[in-house]
Amino acid sequence: MIGGLFIYNHKGEVLISRVYRDDIGYVAQRSFMVTSCIKPATLFNVNLFVCRRNAVDAFRVNVIHARQQVRSPVTNIARTSFFHVKRSNIWLAAVTKQNVNAAMVFEFLYKMCDVMTAYFGKISEENIKNNFVLIYELLDEILDFGYPQNSETGALKTFITQQGIKGQTKEEQSQITSQVTGQIGWRREGIKYRRNELFLDVLESVNLLMSPQGQVLSAHVSGRVVMKSYLSGMPECKFGMNDKIVIDKQGKGGDLYAFCCSGKQSIAIDDCTFHQCVRLSKFDSERSISFIPPDGEYELMRYRTTKDIILPFRVIPLVREVGRTKLEVKVVIKSNFKPSLLAQKIEVRIPTPLNTSGVQVICMKGKAKYKASENAIVWKIKRMAGMKESQISAEIELLPTNDKKKWARPPISMNFEVPFAPSGLKVRYLKVFESKLNYSDHDVIKWVRYIGRSGIYETRC
């Protein structure tokens, strides 16, 4: 299991060090003032440090101060393995000498970042120094002898408060412990809101690679359902979407939803993963998504689809080489969604050859500019409604070169944001049941929002 955990700043100074196991050797009892004297990584230094069983320094010398780009997030230095993740300027490193579950170590490091962010905001050197006592306290709680323990912020915040826990009554204490160890470790009891409210965000990023002739080479949507819940008590929720498997099972006759829906009724989900609050065995057997949500914001599910994706934009490129020193480019974009909807933040990036000397652009809508430093024409449109089209034409002057190699013609890429889910996913319902408190599903105010963004959205030309 994890033998120790260290947090470094960008200079390699230790901000936090917690050793769980003897085998990784005692923490460097050396101040960071020594750091500046240490020369860049050499084999000699590696050995030197290993001899001193000095895990902290070994990592600094070999990873943080390494001249090369990091070649692997797991480094083995003298039979000691270092796992690291970097958040802005801060390095988090877990150290072990055993054959640990590597995926778990990384997941733990991410979790650790989440917990710290939830407690004191951005992970920065200053914040870490300001909260080092708290971090030690958290580390003591969420990692015992290198085994990750309950690390849900909701639960942790009930008893790691930096205020002491003197005032608690016996009932409160046992409530804390039963929550920390219980089946619903992510939510504490006794939450009360005057207004029961929940927000569902369906966030999708649509990825496309299209041939110049308009043939889809690859397309997929990766989506997330993010939920913000402000619900009292321990509500039991049930989430429903237009999952093809569910709809098919219910049959068209019986289901009102299926009847109402025109056009695309259901979507085939390739794969999805859920927050730990979702009862996976129930999903596996009945494909129903039921859970008791954490309080506040969290990611309920992630999913991936590849079939029947609505491509919000179609890019039609036309590139003509006029002689050796001139290129004529015409690009048409067509929006392909309901006219009532508006796409935003549209940006089309048309690559230009390296030997471009000048560009003249004419566009009917938005603004276009040739950016020499990026070797591209960047065309920006603020808003665009559905079922419209717009076009840009450009004349590119080229310098004559001796280079025999032809220009590779990188693909035209696009960015945008649309107010619907390109996968076709629809939230059918989110039912809330709380039998102990006197509010019903109807009393809960629910908000649903769909945002589709471009991932890597490219058309070859």
Partner 1 sequence: MTDSKYFTTNKKGEIFELKAELNNEKKEKRKEAVKKVIAAMTVGKDVSSLFPDVVNCMQTDNLELKKLVYLYLMNYAKNQPDMAIMAVNSFVKDCEDPNPLIRALAVRTMGCIRVDKITEYLCEPLRKCLKDEDPYVRKTAAVCVAKLHDINAQMVEDQGFLDSLRDLIADSNPMVVANAVAALSEISESHPNSNLLDLNPQNINKLLTALNECTEWGQIFILDCLSNYNPKDEREAQSICERVTPRLSHANSAVVLSAVKVLMKFLELLPKDSDYYNTLLKKLSPPLVTLLSGEPEVQYVALRNINLIVQKRPEILKQEIKVFFVKYNDPIYVKLEKLDIMIRLASQANIAQVLAELKEYATEVDVDFVRKAVRAIGRCAIKVEQSAERCVSTLLDLIQTKVNYVVQEAIVVIRDIFRKYPNKYESIIATLCENLDSLDEPDARAAMIWIVGEYAERIDNADELLESFLEGFHDESTQVQLTLLTAIVKLFLKKPSETQELVQQVLSLATQDSDNPDLRDRGYIYWRLLSTDPVTAKEVVLSEKPLISEETDLIEPTLLDELICHIGSLASVYHKPPNAFVEGSHGIHRKHLPVQHSSIDTGESPVSSGPAANIEQTHVIPSQGDLLGDLLNLDLGPRSTCPRCPPCRWGLWTLTVLIACNSVLLLQVWLPAVKAKGLEISGTFTRRQGQMYMDMTFTNKALQHMTDFAVQFNKNSFGVIPTSPLPVHTPLMPNQNIELSLPLNTIGPVMKMDPLNNLQVHTAHETKSKAVILTFFPIYFSERQVFLATWKDIPNENELQYQIKECHLNADTVSGKLQNSNIYTIAKRNVEGQDMLYQSLKLTNGIWILAELRIQPGNPNYTLSLKCRAPEVSQYIYQTYDSILKT
What x/- string results for residues 116 through 155 when contact with partner 1 is judged by CB under 8 A? ----------x--xxxxx--xx--x---xx-xxxxxx---
Compute the least distance from the CB of residue 404 to partner 1, in Å: 8
Partners of residue 320 on adjacent β-strands: 328
Is residue 302 near partner 1 by the rule CB under 8 A? yes
Nearer to partner 1, 141 or 197 (CB): 141
- What are the backbone angles phi and psi of residue 97, rounded to the nearest 5°? -115, 5
What tokens does 456 get? 């890597």
Exactly one of 52, 228, 238, 304 binds partner 1 (CB under 8 A); that residue is 304
Span from 79-87, 344-352, 392-400, 435-443 in contact with partner 1 (CB under 8 A): 79-87
> What's the one-letter identity of residue 316?
I
What x/- string results for residues 305 through 324 when contact with partner 1 is judged by CB under 8 A? --------------------
Cα three-residue angle 210-386-419, rounded to 5 degrees: 90
Chain CA centroid to CA 31, Å: 36
Is residue 168 near partner 1 by the rule CB under 8 A? yes
Using CB under 8 A as the binding rule, the residues of this chain from 253 to 272 that contact partner 1 are 270-272
Using CB under 8 A as the binding rule, the residues of this chain from 334 to 353 that contact partner 1 are none
How far is the C-alpha of 206 from the C-alpha of 192, rounded, in Å?
38
Cα three-residue angle 357-359-362, rounded to 5 degrees: 175
Exactly one of 24, 41, 56, 123 binds partner 1 (CB under 8 A); that residue is 56
How far is the C-alpha of 232 from the C-alpha of 304, rounded, in Å?
32
Nearer to partner 1, 276 or 440 (CB): 276
Nearer to partner 1, 129 or 249 (CB): 129
Is the Cβ–Cβ distance between 61 and 45 less than 8 Å?
Answer: yes
- What are the backbone angles phi and psi of residue 200, rounded to the nearest 5°? -120, 125
Is residue 218 near partner 1 by the rule CB under 8 A? yes
Span from 170-178, 342-350, 372-380, 431-439 in contact with partner 1 (CB under 8 A): 170-178
Span from 168-176, 344-352, 392-400, 432-440 in contact with partner 1 (CB under 8 A): 168-176
Exactly one of 51, 88, 260, 284 binds partner 1 (CB under 8 A); that residue is 284
Q: 369 labelled as ligand-binding? A: yes
**Which H or E run includes 247?**
helix 244-250
Nearer to partner 1, 148 or 419 (CB): 148
Q: 380 labelled as ligand-binding? A: yes
Compute the least distance from the CB of residue 361 to partner 1, in Å: 25
Exactly one of 36, 37, 39, 72 binds partner 1 (CB under 8 A); that residue is 72
Q: Which residue has the tokens 């390095």?
A: 91
- What are the backbone angles phi and psi of residue 47, rounded to the nearest 5°? -65, -40
Q: 307 labelled as ligand-binding? A: no
Is residue 103 near partner 1 by the rule CB under 8 A? yes
**Binding footprint of partner 1, residue count (CB under 8 A):** 101
Q: Which residues, including other chains, have CB under 8 Å from residue 65's CB and lie 6 or more apart?
A: 12, 38, 40, 41
Exactly one of 10, 42, 89, 107 binds partner 1 (CB under 8 A); that residue is 107
Is residue 193 near partner 1 by the rule CB under 8 A? no
Using CB under 8 A as the binding rule, the residues of this chain from 80 to 99 that contact partner 1 are 81, 83, 85, 96-99
Q: 446 labelled as ligand-binding? A: no
Sign of the dihedral defined by the CA atoms of residues 329, 330, 336, 338, in that order? positive
Exactly one of 174, 357, 360, 401 binds partner 1 (CB under 8 A); that residue is 174
Of 323, 321, 315, nearest to 392 (Cα)?
315
- What are the backbone angles phi and psi of residue 141, rounded to the nearest 5°? -85, -45
Q: What own/partner pairs with CB < 8 Å and gap ≥ 24 does 376-381 have?
A: 376/349, 376/350, 376/351, 376/352, 377/329, 377/349, 377/350, 377/352, 378/347, 378/348, 378/349, 378/350, 379/331, 379/347, 379/348, 379/349, 379/350, 380/346, 380/347, 381/346, 381/347, 381/348
Is residue 101 near partner 1 by the rule CB under 8 A? yes
Is residue 203 near partner 1 by the rule CB under 8 A? no
Annotated binding site: 367, 369, 371, 380, 382
